[in-house]
Structure 1
Amino acid sequence: MHQLFTYLIALVWLANGLLCKVLMLVPRHAAIVARILGTEHAPLITRLIGLGEIGMAVWVVSGVKPRWCALAQIGLILSMNTLEALLAPDLLLWGRANAFFAVLFCLLIYYHSFRAARPFPE
C-alpha cells in the first residue's frame, strides 16, 4: 500500500508538470503564472515550473531522503496555493476552495512520509 501511495503522489506531480505545464495542455496554468509573474516570460516560466514538478515526481519515486522530500512538497504546495489564492483566485479550478484540496494533499504526503512509512535512515 505504501508503494501505491508513493506512485500516486508522484503521478500528481508528473501530470501537473508534464501535461499541464510543459505540454501546456491546461492554459489556465500559464495564465496563473502570467498573473503572478507577468506575461512576458510566462510560457517559459510555466514550462520551467513544470520541469521542476517532473523532478519532484522523480524524487518521490527515488525514495532518496523521503522526509526531506515530503517537507519540500508540503512547502511548495502551501506556498503555491497561497500565492494563487491571493493573486489569481478567479483562475483556479475551484477558486479559493483549491486550498482545501491542497491541504488534503499535504496531509496525505505527511501521513505517507511520517506516519505510515517504514523507518528511514536520515
Structure 2
Amino acid sequence: MEKLLHYFIVLVWLFNGLYCKIFNQVSRHQEIVGEILSKEHARTLTIIIGSMEILLGIWIFFRKYPKPTAIFQIILVLGMNVIEFFLVPNLLLWGRFNLVFAILFAGLIYLEAFVLPASPHQKGYGKLQ
C-alpha cells in the first residue's frame, strides 16, 4: 500500500509536469500561468514550472529527505491552489471545488510521509531528515 501511494504521488508530479505543461496537452495550465504571472511569457514559464515538477517527482521517487519534502509539497499544492481559487477559478477544471482535491492530495502526501508505517528498507523513513 505504501509503495502504491508513493508511486501515485510521483506520477501526479511527473504527469502534470511533462504531459500537462511541457507537452501542453492541457492548455488550461498555460492559461493559468498567463493570467497569474505573465501572458507574454506564459509558455516559457509553463515549461519551467513543468520541468520543476518533473524534478520534484524524481526527487520524491528516490525518497531523499521524505518528511521535509512532504512539507514542501503540501505547502506548494495548497499555496498554488489557494492562489488559483481567488485569481482564476474560471480556468480550473472543477472551479473553486479544485481546492477540495488539493486538500485531499495534500492529505495523501501527509499520510504517505508521516502516518503509514515504513518498511525498514525505505531509507530515511521514521525520522525527520
TM-score by length of 2: 0.91
2:114 maps to 114
Identity of aligned residues (%): 45
How do 1:62-73 residues align onto structure 2 when only pairs under 5 Å count?
A: 62-73=62-73
Give, in whole Å, the separation in 2 of the partners of 1:108 and 1:26.
24
Quote the offset at 1:120 in angstroms. 3.7
Quote the offset at 1:121 in angstroms. 5.8
Give, in whole Å, the separation in 2 of the partners of 1:39 and 1:2.
40
How do 1:43-122 residues align onto structure 2 when only pairs under 5 Å count?
A: 43-118=43-118, 119-120=126-127, 122=129
The DSSP-based 3-state class of the residue aligned with 1:38 is coil
Give, in whole Å, the separation in 2 of the partners of 1:29 and 1:99.
15
Give, in whole Å, the separation in 2 of the partners of 1:74 and 1:10.
14
Alignment of 1:30 onto 2:30? yes
- 2:52 maps to a residue whose letter is G
Q: Which runs of 5+ in 2 are unaligned?
A: 119-125
Q: Which runs of 5+ in 1 are unaligned?
A: none
Runs of 4+ in 1 over 6 A off after TM superposition: none
TM-score by length of 1: 0.96
Instruction: For residues 64-121 of structure 1, give each alpha carbon's deviation from its aligned partner in whole angstroms, at most 9, with x where no partner exists.
Output: 0000110110010011101111110000000000000000000010011001142146
Aligned length: 122
CA RMSD of aligned residues (A): 1.0
The question of whether the paired residues in 1 share the 8 Å contact of 2:21 and 2:46 is answered with yes
